[in-house]
Chains A and B, each alone.
Chain A
């Protein structure tokens, strides 16, 4: 269980998250919203990586009461990218995590096709490959809450499905998995619930069926959105207003 109560985050005088509250059972949750709406900040606050006001509860335990060196047992934030010192290799990246379960790490390295990249320098691999390595690293912990930031932006279609299937399985095993992304397909075809942020406030918090609403999504993104279903695969596409 992940409980967030009246969470706010400010960077200097700019309020990025403005009093967000929600509660999530073990499930796979989509976190969507326009650029700059506060998705990354919300995830980092839940992971205790940025100062926040309000409370974060994981299985009823207040995040502030969890010893920092044991925090990864409770929550992991998987960043979308990094700015490493050149000459660090993908292998260095994966092994820099002492809280990882090595057997599990090896499994995810195989699943995400990272094994042939281990001796490559970080700046020599593509953005998608780096993203997969970061995922393997993050998933190799047994955190109760998994916060995955933009795992679908650089990965190709095949790995997008691999990633979503993996996250789906983790949610089925009893983890709370939150995925921040705007790649609505495949995202919405795997999740149980949709959270949407707009200007730092919770705009949608609903199960998938009611969450994917054309009017709400159009208002969220500020363009007309249309939900289409082909062979039970849901996609949400922007519709250009008729010109002329």
Chain B
């Protein structure tokens, strides 16, 4: 089709609707970077579908000039499943938050990841409920004081990366709202992955949970506070003058101080591998949290497994090849029938 051969730019992916996020919200940066990545993916614009649930992040589809469906709280993965099954050619992107995806929608997130449909899940994690004005979320830290937890939260949080790994995710990554190059790189990797791609995007909520991720957002601090995962490279972080590495023994990570010029591999630092047979290594990475460890960002795990909608379509093709196209009259007349004479 003629339209699709025209080279599109990020502006072609911006809808005409006014954006209604709070000033300074991390969602702006994520939106811009998603719009910047879209033209390069080789997908006709009409084949993109953005699906969301309820919450601040879930307004996302209204701002994309693609097909979009703003659905109900927590259920976006289920809607996306129906869309992808009905038309596997579509490029389906789910936008959800920590409340939408991991609280009310935890069940659907689990099962959609487990089925490995070929779609992308962007979970904006700001560790707070924004649209309902500031209650704690399932990723909030213990002790967090909010309107609904005036004495501090006593809920133990769930870690989105560990949740996705536990659900059998074939692609799991983490990135940061304001790190544009990294965010774009992860979005491209996620699109290229055939199967469910789960991305946790650490996102600042300037109104209800400001600076929650300042250590990984701030350029100066993140050198020490974050660990960029690169396939085949050792797990090292910190400035040249003060390099450290992550060693993993019996599944237990520890920080190794590296002396100037020391080979991290010789020092026992683990080499990042996205494709381990089991997710045990990725789980160990997921357990790295502040303040004792840097926060890993990048691809935790990327393995190949056939996707649900492909296998579903294959069953239809196979059935038609073996039984022939369905004949309704023959179906209605199958098994025992009889004629009543006039």
Q: Are A and B part of the same complex?
A: no
